């Protein structure tokens, strides 16, 4: 397999490395996740995360095993192990399924490697197209609120929502980004704020519960978020808190955009009700742990709910920014999402 490199993912011709996203922004540490068990754990612990990137990373891991002589009889088992690492982001299943077509009769190392190289380079291209399409919706002077992390850390390319933001700035638009810190795991505060600084994009970090007041004060002209799975009726799953933001944007009459590649569309989900939502450990809500240390702020046994994602209904979405085109509610109603998938 050829060498591969993105902001937080690397294949050096021998080993697979990820920039440990649990440690950012305090520490920049690359860890070896060549072994499938290590990759599964890294995906589950969110050391590598973001819908598109977990698909790419898992596919590269599987292809590398094949290159290293994984027997044909173990291919499907290893693929399933990686495919089941997390349940909500469909990109993971889409990427692994693309390689599973080589199981059994069609097992061919060269073809598996080539398909994996395409998965990586395609993700880079899809991000570019999303950035180009979405940038046109951003106006000079916009305040843009975003949630979670959707940039170069979450994809093989420039990202989805953050890719759009970056392209708007590159095209000379003066923008200001309001970064939701994104409880409970703080992908906004730890990762998006870090990426904004790296990209030199003016930004302000807010706690999730401050979004309403930013909107009321007239600081937010657009909300742009990423997604983990889009159902055919336009409902979509994204990091928990997105649904609340969509309601707030609706109340304040602020356009609410969701950005993602076609690999995030699930043709098997008719509506958001069919999207599986990952429930994570209660410890994540009772406190934090990371490069910054550990803190517990709730009683150790305190009952907790911790859905990692929520579903935003299509009727709260102003537009879906995809790699092929921007879809509006009337497009969604006439089957536009299916038409954005390759034949």
Catalytic residues: 228
The only residue of 6, 8, 47, 160 in contact with ligand MRU, by rule CB under 6 A? 160
DSSP state of 191: I
49 lies in the binding site for ligand MRU (CB under 6 A)? yes
Q: Single out the segment in contact with ligand MRU by CB under 6 A; choices: 205-213, 214-222, 223-231, 248-256.
A: 223-231
Stretch binding ligand MRU (CB under 6 A), from 5-13, 48-56, 106-114, 245-253: 48-56
Does the protein bind ligand MRU through residue 308 (CB under 6 A)?
Answer: yes
User: Residue 45 or residue 174: which is nearer to ligand MRU going by CB?
Assistant: 45
Host H or E run for residue 290: strand 287-290
* Token code pair at residue 9: 């993912």
263 neighbors 123 (Cβ within 8 angstroms)? yes
Q: What are phi and psi of 42, to 5 degrees?
A: -65, -35
Rounded Cα distance between 15 and 127, Å, is: 25
By CB under 6 A, is residue 155 in contact with ligand MRU?
Answer: yes
β strands within 29-76, DSSP E: 30-32
When asked if residue 238 is in the footprint of ligand MRU (CB under 6 A), the reply is yes
Q: According to the binding rule CB under 6 A, does residue 239 interact with ligand MRU?
A: yes
d(CA 257, CA 136): 12
Q: Which two tokens mark 342?
A: 């390759």
Q: Which of 135, 228, 266, 323 binds ligand MRU (CB under 6 A)?
A: 228
Beta bridge partners, 237, equal 229, 311
- Near ligand MRU in 8-47, by CB under 6 A: 46
Exactly one of 187, 192, 263, 312 binds ligand MRU (CB under 6 A); that residue is 187
- Quickly count: other Cβ atoms within 10 Å of residue 73's Cβ: 9
- For binding to ligand MRU (CB under 6 A), which residues are involved? 46, 49-52, 89, 148, 150, 154-155, 159-160, 187, 226-228, 238-239, 308
């Amino acid at each position: 397999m050829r060498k591969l490199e993105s902001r937080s993912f690397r294949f050096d011709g021998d080993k697979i490395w990820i920039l440990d996203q649990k440690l950012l922004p305090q520490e920049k540490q690359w860890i070896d996740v060549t072994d499938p068990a290590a990759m599964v754990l890294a995906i589950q612990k969110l050391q590598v995360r973001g819908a598109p990137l977990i698909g790419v990373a898992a596919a590269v891991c599987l292809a590398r095993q094949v290159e290293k002589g994984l027997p044909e009889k173990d291919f499907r088992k290893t693929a399933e192990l990686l495919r089941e690492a997390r349940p909500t982001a469909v990109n993971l299943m889409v990427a692994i399924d693309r390689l599973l077509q080589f199981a059994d009769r069609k097992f061919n190392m060269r073809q598996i490697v080539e398909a994996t190289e395409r998965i990586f380079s395609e993700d880079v291209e899809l991000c570019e197209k999303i950035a180009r399409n979405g940038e046109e919706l951003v106006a000079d002077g916009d305040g843009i609120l975003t949630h979670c992390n959707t940039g170069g850390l979450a994809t093989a390319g420039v990202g989805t929502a953050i890719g759009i933001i970056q392209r708007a700035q590159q095209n000379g638009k003066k923008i200001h980004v309001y970064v939701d810190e994104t409880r409970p795991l703080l992908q906004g505060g730890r990762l998006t704020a870090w990426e904004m600084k790296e990209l030199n994009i003016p930004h302000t970090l807010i706690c999730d519960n401050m979004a309403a007041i930013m909107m009321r004060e007239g600081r937010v002209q657009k909300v742009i978020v990423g997604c983990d799975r889009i159902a055919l009726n336009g409902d979509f799953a994204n990091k928990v808190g997105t649904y609340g933001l969509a309601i707030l944007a609706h109340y304040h009459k602020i356009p609410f955009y969701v950005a993602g590649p076609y690999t995030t569309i699930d043709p098997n989900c008719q509506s958001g009700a069919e999207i599986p939502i990952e429930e994570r450990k209660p410890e994540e809500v009772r406190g934090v742990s990371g490069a910054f240390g550990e803190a517990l702020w709730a009683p150790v046994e305190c009952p907790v709910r911790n859905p990692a994602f929520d579903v935003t209904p299509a009727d709260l979405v102003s537009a879906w920014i995809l790699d092929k085109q921007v879809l509006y509610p009337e497009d969604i109603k006439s089957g536009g999402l299916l038409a954005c998938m390759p034949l």
